[in-house]
Structure 1
């Protein structure tokens, strides 16, 4: 599902599976990988960690997005969720 909230695009993904080099990799949301939460239309939504998403984008071959996350993480800055 996709929403735009205050000009920011938000994707809600469940049952994430990434196919890479002939293999399917499943990535369920594990409690220890939840980095933050947002509230959207009265629902509290857990957010996967940036570290996880850096790995996912790398596996998908989306190296530019992975590099953006790597730079954000190494800068010590956070991405605002509210």
Structure 2
């Protein structure tokens, strides 16, 4: 794979809190938190799952800021 190859990495996070609550709390901190899976599959029992994406355009600092904000929200 060359350095110019685009790749996508979408992954679910299983949260101890409802995902929509987590997304709102992250947004209040200026962080785009992802998409609650329950928005995509309303009756699937995925209320605590959050779909997150990261690509090669995400800087390490951005990922660290996301992780810190998420840890703060979930604590």
Q: Does the alignment reach a TM-score above 0.5? A: no
Tell me the TM-score normalized by structure 1.
Answer: 0.30
TM-score normalized by structure 2?
A: 0.32
Greater relative contact order (Cα < 8 A, sep 6+): 2
**Which structure has more strand as a fraction of its residues?**
1
Which protein is richer in helix relative to its size? 2
